[in-house]
Amino acid sequence: MERQLAGKIDTRTARVAVIGQGYVGLPLALEYARAGFAAVGIDTDHDRIAALNLGQSPTPDVPDAELREFVASGRYQATADFSVLDDSDVVIICVPTPLRKSKDPDISYVVAASEQVAAHFHAGQLVVLESTTYPGTTDELLIPMLTGRGGRLGDTVFVAFSPERIDPANKQFKVRDIPKVVGGATPACTRLAAALYRTIVPKVYEVSSPTVAELAKLYENTFRNINIALANEFALMCRRLGVSSREVIDAAATKPFGFMAFYPGPGIGGHCIAVDPFYLSWKMRLNGYEPRFIHIADEINQHMPEHVVELVTEALNNRRRSVNGASILALGVAYKANVGDTRESPALEILATLRAKGAEVAYTDPWVPTTPVGDVELKSVELTDQRLAEADCVVILADHAAFDYAHIVATARLVVDARNATWGLDAPDTRVVRL
Alpha-carbon span 132 to 74, nearest angstrom: 30
State the average pLDDT over residues 368-384. Answer: 95
**pLDDT per position as a tens digit, 54-91:** 999 998 889 999 999 999 999 999 999 999 999 999 99
Tell me the residue type at 312: V
Alpha-carbon span 339 to 345, nearest angstrom: 11
Q: Is 232 left (phi over 0), alpha (psi -120 to 50) or beta?
A: alpha
Annotated catalytic residues are 272
Q: What's the CATH superfamily of 2-208?
A: NAD(P)-binding Rossmann-like Domain (3.40.50.720)
**pLDDT per position as a tens digit, 42-55:** 999 999 999 999 99
Alpha-carbon span 25 to 80, nearest angstrom: 14
Alpha-carbon span 185 to 189, nearest angstrom: 6
CA–CA distance from 199 to each of 5, 193, 194, 348, 404 (Å)? Answer: 14, 10, 9, 41, 41
Q: What are phi and psi of 158, to 5 degrees?
A: -125, 125
Alpha-carbon span 179 to 218, nearest angstrom: 16
CA 36 to chain centre: 28
Could you tell me which residue, 274 or 212, shows the higher pLDDT? 212
Alpha-carbon span 143 to 146, nearest angstrom: 5
pLDDT of residue 428: 66
- What is 228-434's CATH topology? Rossmann fold (3.40.50)
Residue 255's CB is within 10 A of a number of other CB atoms, namely: 10
- Coil, helix or strand for 287? coil
**pLDDT per position as a tens digit, 139-198:** 999 999 999 988 899 999 999 999 999 888 888 899 999 999 999 999 999 999 999 999
- For residue 182, what are the β-bridge partners? 206
H helix or E strand, kind and range, residue 309: helix 292-317
Q: What is the spatial order of strands in the sheet that 204-207 belongs to? A: 76-79, 38-42, 15-19, 90-93, 125-129, 157-161, 180-184, 204-207
Within 13 Å of residue 223, how many CA atoms lie on the same side as its CB? 8
**pLDDT per position as a tens digit, 322-366:** 999 999 999 999 999 999 999 999 999 999 999 999 999 999 999
**pLDDT per position as a tens digit, 106-148:** 999 999 999 999 999 999 999 999 999 999 999 999 999 999 9
Residue 101 confidence class, pLDDT cut points 50, 70, 90:
confident
Alpha-carbon span 396 to 169, nearest angstrom: 19
DSSP 105: B
Report the chain's mean pLDDT, rounded to a whole number.
95
Closest CA to 25 of 140, 129, 142: 129
Could you tell me which residue, 240 or 169, shows the higher pLDDT? 240
Residue 384 confidence class, pLDDT cut points 50, 70, 90:
very high
CA 236 to chain centre: 26
Which segments within 148-234 are labelled E, that is strand? 157-161, 180-184, 204-207
3-state DSSP percent of the chain in helix, strand and coil, to 5: 40, 15, 45
Lowest-confidence pick of 100-109, 225-234, 327-336: 100-109
Alpha-carbon span 90 to 377, nearest angstrom: 42
Tell me the residue type at 109: Y
Give yes or no for residue 429 having a pLDDT over 70.
no
258-289 burial code (b ≥16 CB/10 A, e <16): eeeebbbbbbbbbbbbbbbbbbbbbbeeeeee
pLDDT of residue 57: 94
What is the separation, in whole angstroms, between the first and last Cα of the chain? Answer: 58
**pLDDT per position as a tens digit, 280-295:** 999 999 999 999 999 9
**pLDDT per position as a tens digit, 297-309:** 999 999 999 999 9
Query: Using an 8 Å Cβ cutoff, are 221 and 277 in contact?
Result: yes
pLDDT of residue 168: 85
Share of the chain above pLDDT 90, in %: 91
Query: Using an 8 Å Cβ cutoff, are 371 and 364 in contact?
Result: no
Alpha-carbon span 380 to 42, nearest angstrom: 32
Give yes or no for residue 255 having a pLDDT over 80.
yes
Alpha-carbon span 27 to 134, nearest angstrom: 24
- Coil, helix or strand for 313? helix
Closest CA to 293 of 227, 356, 370: 227
pLDDT of residue 278: 93
State the average pLDDT over residues 245-258. Answer: 96
List, in order, residues 6 or more apart from 321 with CB less than 8 Å away: 392
DSSP 206: E
Give yes or no for residue 430 having a pLDDT over 80.
no
What are the start and end residues of each CATH 3.40.50.720 domain in the chain? 2-208, 228-434
Give yes or no for residue 310 having a pLDDT over 90.
yes
Give pTM, 2 decimals: 0.92
